[in-house]
Amino acid sequence: MTKAETETARQTASGSSFYWAMRLLPEERREAMYAIYRFCRAVDDIADDPDTPALSRNTELLSWRGGVSALYRGENAGRAAFLGAAVEQFGLREADFLSVIEGMEMDASGAMIAPDLATLDRYCDCVASAVGRLSIKVFGMDEAPGFALARHLGRALQLTNILRDLDEDADMGRLYLPREFLESASIPLGTPSQVIAQPAVDPVCRGLAELAVHQYRDAERIMQTRPRGDLRPCRLMGAVYSAILARMQQRGWLAPRKRTRIPKIVLIALVLRHAFTK
């Protein structure tokens, strides 16, 4: 990316949970992560645009697919051209970029309304673990431990996001809580807003939180083996999001809900703790 493009991506990321994790990296790795973030933000904005019909959003995402594929064929990549330097320097895989787009297509098509567990797992792999697989290349990890870490930590982070964003997602007509959990709690499948208003949604969310906890533990076990690479962003993201999850578990998910955040002083402490431990 150009310096101007990098600065734009940095400013956009500064409002996200990923900003401090990316700031821990040396410049060349940080710029590659900004490129990945810019890509993810671009396709996510398409999927989340409420003013654009689903067909048009899917057409836009198809255009991104074409751009990514052209990049790997050495052709004119159009809007995806800014990814070229990171792809070449860190060996980023085409399949992972396409998986991210697949996840956005799932959102854009309206498929994510009480998905079954298998569909939810595929969605988490696309929108989170695939980003992790791109990221661990930038972090300098070997693929075997890196992809395993991406699998577990990506799912943990995404499940935490789902539990944190129940109301925001319902406003967009989305409900990521798994169908099997809702059926076990005898919650009728109405609109997303109707579903999350049910008192029984609390044990449903607690069950999903337990799945996330297991994923955090699996990710931590991999990091404790101290595989090659700069694991500071992974450690920081795991610490921040597991802290958010713990606060939600303490508060519960009964309506009315308030979006859970960790205090700034806690965030700063976590950044300082993980900034010097690779």
pLDDT tens across the length of the chain (278 residues):
555 555 554 445 445 566 778 888 999 999 999 999 999 999 999 999 988 998 999 999 999 999 999 999 999 999 999 999 999 999 999 999 999 999 999 999 988 999 999 999 999 999 999 999 999 999 999 999 999 999 999 999 999 999 999 999 999 999 999 999 999 999 999 999 999 999 999 999 999 999 999 999 999 999 999 999 999 999 999 999 999 999 999 999 999 999 999 888 888 788 878 776 65
99 in any annotated domain: no
Whole-prediction pTM value? 0.92
What is the chain's length? 278
Are both 38 and 172 inside the same structural domain?
no
276 in any annotated domain: yes
CA angle 219, 276, 91 (to 5 degrees): 60
For residue 110, the Cα-to-chain-centroid distance in whole angstroms is 18
For residue 26, the Cα-to-chain-centroid distance in whole angstroms is 22
Are both 201 and 266 inside the same structural domain?
yes
103 in any annotated domain: no
What is the spatial distance between Cα 108 and Cα 46, in angstroms, rounded to a whole number?
A: 8
Query: How many CA atoms lie within 13 Å of 188's alpha carbon, on the beta-carbon side?
Result: 3
Domain of residue 183 covers 112-278
98 in any annotated domain: no
Are both 78 and 168 inside the same structural domain?
no
DSSP 175: B
Are both 15 and 56 inside the same structural domain?
yes
Are both 133 and 164 inside the same structural domain?
yes
Using omega within 30 degrees of 0 as the cis cutoff, is the peptide bond preceding 256 cis? yes
**How many structural domains are present in the chain?**
2
Determine the angle formed by the axes of helices 143-164 and 232-251, rounding to 10 degrees.
30
